[in-house]
Amino acid sequence: MCGIVGCAGSGDTVSNVLTGLENLEYRGYDSAGVALRNGSGIEICKRAGEISALQGTISQRLSSGSIAIGHTRWSTHGPPTDANAHPHTDCTGEVAVVHNGIIENHADLRTALEARGHEFTSDTDTEVVPHLLEEHLAAGRDLAGALRETLSVLDGSYALVVLADGEDALYAARRGSPLLLGVDDDRTFLASDAPAFLEYTDSVVVLEDGDVATVTADGYAVTDADGAPVERAVRSLDWTPEDARKEGYDHYMLKEIHEQPDAVRRAIRGRIDESTGEPTLAFPDGAFADVDRVQLVGCGTSYHAALYGAGLLAREGVDARAILASEYAETTPTLDDRTLVVGVTQSGETADTLGALRHASQRGARTLALTNVLGSTAARECDDALFIRAGPEIGVAASKTFSSQVVTLLLLAATVARDLTGDLSADSRAAVRALTALPDQLQAVIDDTDAGVIAERYARQEAYFFIGRGLAHPVALEGALKFKEISYEHAEGFPAGELKHGPLALVTAETPVFAVFSGRSDEKTLNNVQEVQARGAPVVAVTCEGNDAVLQQADEVLTVPDTHPDLVGVLSTVQLQLISYHVSDLLDRAIDKPRNLAKSVTVE
């Protein structure tokens, strides 16, 4: 959830760390802080609020040095205050620690430490770590040994980076929370996500659970929990520094909406035989021939993509269902070696999704990670991985990753169906072929949208409803989620047919209804539109060009290019993203950093 940056090396390390924190602010923006080791000890500056609040005072508070760490926080234990901001120190002020994750046994550890005379200054779970380190250092351990002793008593998840007076290295460890090394010629970075150091290096080392790393200006060493050396591969990212910048857009979210044509091009590149309409994913022929059922798990936007994928599979006759990852273990689904469980997760680090995948794996199911991040925990732990290739997404509210997830799931669904039946249906083959035109169609939506005009008409209403049927249902859910995430207005999505079973009681002239039409079962959805119009509600339809019945009935229309029904939802989602964006902009909301939310949810 939170953002960690560390830097050991030449140059202005504090500036490097601050730049990294700015690039990671999507992971948390309740408070931020930096610790620096110089020749006379450790200096710390930390503030509640966004990074800008820290930057306003840091130049007067910190000197310069070759080793620094920083943190931007999404609060779990204790409110966002100066005292609760990271880094946290021991009683002597000689050890500073930044931490992502949750130390589950922190209360017991804190009680024991206080009984031994330690004084705490924050409400956080993290603060037990520097005090434990202090004790082990006092007992004669070196810092690496003290860190291992400390790790041995911690329950929960963590990515930890430690800075200590008198040490020319940073020490780091991870379990259940991501931590990367960025390797440059004259400096080495630590970070919870690659955008922190992309403008300095694209060489990345992914630390794995149980790893302990020692980082200096000259390089790094990685050991396991017992101190035995381990090798971790250096990977080159194909992301560029520009991918993690606004590049002239007012918000990252708007930039990422506009990046969807290119993101989808990358998602399908090399994965379609255009002459036959066959998917060409990098799986052996018949790889899924022994699958009896498919379960897709995810959270938030990724769950909506999973719902879409389950609908695509079901249309091909595959036993498929989407399950919220946080509820997966409670649903007691059928799990055996003929069950394929697909974890849909942008970051590959979402705690609830990882928990569901591990639950499935322990019970003998085959697991597949559908993710955006090479080297992520999900990609490493699952039996297979399929990457959506969307590039870095900085805005907290997902946009381009949803489109890339759905497109990749369509290719996967066609592959699974072909392996199970020996051939693709004509409809599925047509959908795969239609993908090749999708990037240009996405660009047409972005270029020709009337979302800004419609947003001005409906920016200040009592509530907003989003309805759809079949594959339009997850699009409606995603439209409502995006709207509530960044506008802070009440929005609700549900199947169109459910209107008359309760939600219709809430419909008034002040509750616009966004109705999504997929090209299938449109007549029934049109009946639902007439139901809300009879109660005075304005209807904004999202539909293909030329759908005359809808065009004549709706009060407002957002059109998308005519395409295969399985792809209409991808185009419709872009229109709803733009509606959410423009309404939120008119309401002056913090679009890229909505309150109470963070990008990568690594706690359960």
- State the DSSP H helix or E strand holding residue 270, giving kind and residue range, or none if neither: none
Residues 6+ apart with CB under 8 A from 162: 95, 96, 97, 129, 130, 133, 143, 147, 170, 171, 172
The one catalytic residue in 2, 7, 45, 382 is 2
In angstroms, the CA 375 to CA 208 distance is 9
Closest listed residue to residue 31, CA positions, set 52, 18, 44, 50? 50
Q: What angle do CA 539, 543, 547 make, to 5 degrees?
A: 105
Length of the chain: 604
In angstroms, the CA 360 to CA 364 distance is 7
Closest listed residue to residue 16, CA positions, set 46, 43, 36? 36
**Residue keyed to tokens 């000890």:** 41
3-state secondary structure of 574: helix
In angstroms, the CA 549 to CA 403 distance is 27
In angstroms, the CA 219 to CA 532 distance is 64
| Residue 553 · residue 526 · CB < 8 Å | yes
Q: What is the DSSP string of 245-264?
A: S-TT-SSHHHHHHHTHHHHH
First to last CA, the chain: 11
**Residue keyed to tokens 């290019």:** 561
262-287: b or e for each residue (b if 16 or more CB lie within 10 Å)?
bbbbbbbeebbeeeebbbebebeeeb
The one catalytic residue in 255, 400, 484, 599 is 599
45 catalytic per annotation? no
599 catalytic per annotation? yes
Please report, as a single letter, which amino acid is at residue 451: A
Specify whether the backbone of 342 is left (phi greater than 0), alpha (psi in -120 to 50) or beta.
beta
Residues 6+ apart with CB under 8 A from 238: 202
Active site residues: 2, 599
